[in-house]
Amino acid sequence: MKIAIENLNENELKPIYSDASQLGFGRIFTDRMFTMRYNTTGWADAKIEKYKNFSFDPSACVFHYSQEIFEGMKAYASEDGRILLFRPEQNVRRMNRSADRLVMPPIPEEDMLQAIEELVVAEKRWIPKAPGTSIYIRPTMVATEPFLGVHPSSEYLFFIILSPVGAYYKGGFQPIKLYVEDTFVRAAVGGVGDIKTGGNYAASLMAGYEAQRKGFSQVLWLDARERKYVEEVGAMNMFFVFGDKIVTPPLTGSILPGITRASVLELANHLGLKTEERAITIEEVIDGISSGDITEAFGSGTAAVISPVGSLYFKEKDYSLNNVQVGEVTQRLYDTLVNIQYGKAEDPFGWVKEI
């Protein structure tokens, strides 16, 4: 694919963040973005251009019926000056699975990867080097046809924006408090909970807002049918540590098949831990914490990396884990994963791609 690259004059470049160790998540964006448009003749007009506002017809499909999908991935600066992506082909594949589910046009995998890589390289001055920082990459597709009937759009915009980021949670790698949500639900089997579309996050806002007001970081969702089985957290998949075994809910169609989740399962096996993907009820979790069978819990995600869970609040009671300290298994998995992502440790899986 031929990508046109817009050169910006010195005076058009934004001032870069002053202290990379103070970066939060997703508020700063780089100078340029990738864009490409789709109409009945296919994808065309691929370019890396100045980051700026879009102009859409007010009747554009995405504003009314939420035909939108996105991805989340990161580029890391290694200490020896390389730029590394983590399993980017998995994100590209998941983006096309999301597209398929919402009747949106797929993008050839090699084209999407090329777009991501060329944009990151073009914007490399923005890649932060402080520990725990990276460039967050947000590929997004929106339906742009101006039409109010409910049908798949015939026109789309695909774009990629970049944001230099630090930790997703305010405290960094510190145990977080989760609120177990037993009223609202995030997604039901048969719906769109297993793809990355904005509607899932819109549906989660009310519960998340209430939980945050009460001092929790995020909610832990239960299944939509019975409010019995643990599903996932707002922006991460969930793991429970039973001694030397880690247990995570199975991919039954209502949770996101996280790339970090899949990587944690492989890493854990590699480190000699046992792994189980199985349905786990909230009762089993509460009993396990209370009896000491569950020794740690953590979440996994691109933005969240591996986030230790310090406590669960369920039906008016607080259940704390590992004295609200980062547990040994969580720490080990975090260190191993992060060292691979930043090119500090050997990568026996072939996950890291230098660009």
Binding site for ligand PLP (CB under 6 A): 72, 232, 235-237, 256, 258-261, 300-302
What 3-state DSSP class applies to 284?
helix
Q: Give the binding range for ligand COI (CB under 6 A) out of 11-19, 266-274, 298-306, 326-334.
A: 298-306
**Does residue 69 bind ligand COI (CB under 6 A)?**
no
Q: Three-state SS string across 32-79, please? A: EEEEEEEECCEEEEEEEEECCCCCCCCCEHHHHHCCEEECCEEEEECC
**Minimal distance, residue 157 CB to ligand COI, in Å:** 19
Which of ligand COI, ligand PLP, none is residue 258 near (CB under 5 to 8 Å by kind)?
ligand PLP
CB 75, CB 137: distance < 8 Å: yes
Per rule CB under 6 A, is residue 301 in the interface with ligand COI?
yes
- Is residue 72 a contact point for ligand COI (CB under 6 A)? yes
* Closest approach of ligand PLP to the CB of residue 104, in Å: 18
Q: How far is the CB of 298 from ligand PLP (least distance, A)?
A: 12
DSSP 340: H
Residue 303 as a binder of ligand COI (CB under 6 A): the answer is yes
Say whether residue 187 binds ligand COI (CB under 6 A).
Answer: no
- Kindly tell me which of 258 and 310 has the beta carbon lying closer to ligand PLP: 258
In the complex, least distance from residue 47 CB atom to ligand PLP, rounded to whole angstroms: 27
Nearest Cα to Cα of residue 51 among 134, 144, 160, 198? 160
Burial 289-327 (b: 16+ CB within 10 A, else e): beeeebbbbbbbbbbbbbbbbbbbbbeeeebebbeeebb
Strand partners, 39: 42
Check if the beta carbon of residue 198 is closer than 8 Å to that of residue 68. Answer: yes
Q: How many residues contact ligand COI, by CB under 6 A? A: 5
Q: Which does 207 bind (CB under 5 to 8 A by kind): ligand COI, ligand PLP, none?
A: none
Q: Is residue 235 a contact residue for ligand COI (CB under 6 A)?
A: yes
The stretch near ligand COI (CB under 6 A) out of 29-37, 178-186, 202-210, 301-309 is 301-309
Nearby residues of 171 by Cβ (< 8 Å), 6 or more positions away: none
Alpha-carbon gap, residue 217 to 134, rounded angstroms: 22
Which positions lie near ligand COI, rule CB under 6 A? 72, 235, 301-303
